Structure 1
Amino acid sequence: MTAEEIAEDLVVLPNRGADLVPNIGLIGGRDAVLVVDTGMGPRNAEKVLEFAVEHARGRQLYLTTTHFHPEHAFGAQVFREHATYLVNQAQADDLANRGAGYLEMFRGLGEWIAEQLEGVEIPTPDLVYPESHTLDLGGRTVRMRATGRAHSAGDQLVTVPDAGVVFTGDLVETGQFAIFPWFPPHDTDVSGTRWIAVLDKLIAEAPPVVVPGHGDVGGPELITEVRDYLALVRDETWRRCDAAMGEPVILEEVRAAMIARRPDWRGREWIDNTVAAFCAEHGR
């Protein structure tokens, strides 16, 4: 497993553009190491755990996940006897209330995914915090913050102040259209307007190093790029809503405009979800 060191005792296991594979982080202090995200399913998480144990060299292990979606959190069971798993309350609620439904949905996306999800048990965190939590790793602190509803109801930012690094989960991606889990009537927690507001606050903080949920590590420009894209989709969608266009026409026109603007981006299948979600938020 190849790791990229982005600061002292802070490494990323990069997804290298692979579908449904997140960037995974390991943040080390004198006494403990925090793992950020698990990969999808037990087999992938076992590789992450093996790497983490070797990297920790006897230090205590903690685990957190940026949000509850399967490729980020559905390997947590592997860490059960080895690490303390902590998340914000809204994410714990997502795991309890939506985890089983997402497991079933992802199993239906293809044979390879179903194989990765064999034997998954929806995890129950060991520690749950309300809005924010500071974890002392020994000579290094990590700040975990619930953002409120955005990409999901339980999104979490993981910040390493001394290194100027933030792990954003799927609030930020590199080189692809934003992943928009708008699946009515089963899940409508994603909010484009709230997502933009979260990114505006993060832009104001100007973190020097941004680790996105998927894609290459970069700087604060990654956040601005996603915020600008979402704001453009919102504006183009709402302008057509104000003109009383039908949703099928809005989807077609906005999709074409976004692809023309970013022909090199992956994940075109998410554009329609994004437009549909903004249609639902229009006028609220």
Structure 2
Amino acid sequence: MTKQFASAGDLAEKKISFTEIGRDLWAFTAEGDPNTGVIIGDDAVMIVDAQATPRLANKVIEKIRTVTDKPIKYVVLTHYHAVRVLGASAYGASEIFMSEKARSMVVERGQEDWDSEFGRFPRLFQGHESIPGLTWPTMTFNDRLTVHMGKRRIDLMFLGRAHTAGDIVAYVPDENVMFTGDIVEYHSACYCGDGHFSDWPMTLEEIRAFDLDAIAPGRGDALVGSGMVNDAIDSTADFVMSTYRPIARVAQGGGSLKEAWDACRAACDPKFADYAIYEHCLPFNVARAYDEALGIDTPRIWTAERDKAMWEALQG
């Protein structure tokens, strides 16, 4: 390899923000690192996405304890990626929710994803020795599950494939707020290495149809107000399709992965080069878009070995 992945050199600590986006609804954000949502009900707390390690999860717990002493009873995992799920044990929750499809992906590729992400992004795995193993849900569902926390209702929903095949959102009707996981990003690149480019824009439109007052996205600042919400949905859709279209033209024309990389950079660098984790995501996005354009519907499993082989091909 001529150089390492961009993420391997990203070692600077990020500034943490803890923003109330609705009554007793909070977004834990950190300058493009994975976000965590916090929903406070009448008698308990629900976490949306757990962080990569128990050590990082404890930073979320510290913020929670500045606003409530209610017990953390529920963890919702919007998808299966290691940086979202492996910190779940820190919360001591009695229930862990995930879509049935996401659970099947843990079975199929959870360990490989852990190994791959650990190699790509070492800073996000601070305290990795405290991870007890793969995170498994206690309850799964296919399309919709409603959780009642006293008078507060939370609707967990599968709205369509996007960042992965098993993405879910958490919607809080009484405040018209949604926690979207990585379906929506804000001034952060979308990681599309396990994505479904053709479906993603339609899933974004399903979210837009809620006419939300606020969103806690997967990465980037909390989105408060319809202006920020719609801007983020628009920019996420633009990122996804600006990535896919030039790559698809190259792939379907018989071009190489390296040619697809060059075409993607020409289209995306002018618009997105300053987005968080852009360089980290780019090679994985190119590889997945190339596959999808050639009719490979199910993303191939990423392993540390495949990461390296792909990167070497792109380095020419």
- Hey, what does 1:10 align to over in structure 2? 25
2:134 maps to 1:156: no
Matched-pair contact (CA < 8 Å) for 1:255–1:272:
no
CA pair 167-99 structure 1, distance change in 2 beyond 3 A? same
3-state SS, counterpart of residue 258 of structure 2? helix
What is the 5 A alignment of 1:103-252?
Answer: 103-109=114-120, 112-120=123-131, 121-181=133-193, 189-218=194-223, 219-252=229-262
- Offset of residue 56 of structure 1: 4.2
Deviations 1:255-278 (A, max 9, x none): 122102334223133233323322
Matched-pair contact (CA < 8 Å) for 1:172–1:213:
yes
Distance (Å, rounded) in 2 between the aligned partners of 1:50 and 1:268:
31
CA pair 236-2 structure 1, distance change in 2 beyond 3 A? closer
- Offset of residue 143 of structure 1: 0.9
Moved more, 259-268 or 135-144: 259-268
- Offset of residue 67 of structure 1: 1.4
2:103 maps to 1:98: no
Distance (Å, rounded) in 2 between the aligned partners of 1:90 and 1:256:
35
What is the 5 A alignment of 1:39-118?
Answer: 39-52=51-64, 55-58=67-70, 61-80=73-92, 82-109=93-120, 112-118=123-129
CA pair 110-197 structure 1, distance change in 2 beyond 3 A? closer
3-state SS, counterpart of residue 209 of structure 2? helix
- Offset of residue 119 of structure 1: 2.8
Distance (Å, rounded) in 2 between the aligned partners of 1:111 and 1:228:
29
- Offset of residue 192 of structure 1: 1.2
TM-score, length of structure 1 as denominator length:
0.85
Poorly superposed stretches of 4+, deviation over 6 Å = none
CA pair 125-228 structure 1, distance change in 2 beyond 3 A? same
- Offset of residue 50 of structure 1: 4.8
Paired residues, number: 273
Matched-pair contact (CA < 8 Å) for 1:31–1:60:
no
3-state SS, counterpart of residue 79 of structure 2? coil
Deviations 1:151-180 (A, max 9, x none): 123211111122121111111211122112
C-alpha RMSD of the superposition: 2.4
- Offset of residue 98 of structure 1: 2.1
Query: Which of the residues 32, 37, 42 maps onto 1:30?
Result: 42
3-state SS, counterpart of residue 235 of structure 2? helix
- The residue type paired with residue 279 of structure 2 is R
CA pair 6-276 structure 1, distance change in 2 beyond 3 A? same
Distance (Å, rounded) in 2 between the aligned partners of 1:47 and 1:53:
10
- Offset of residue 111 of structure 1: 5.1
- Offset of residue 142 of structure 1: 0.9
Distance (Å, rounded) in 1 between the aligned partners of 2:258 and 2:69:
56
CA pair 56-148 structure 1, distance change in 2 beyond 3 A? same
Unaligned 5+ segments in structure 2 are 1-15, 224-228, 296-316
CA pair 264-124 structure 1, distance change in 2 beyond 3 A? closer
TM-score, length of structure 2 as denominator length:
0.77
- Offset of residue 73 of structure 1: 0.9
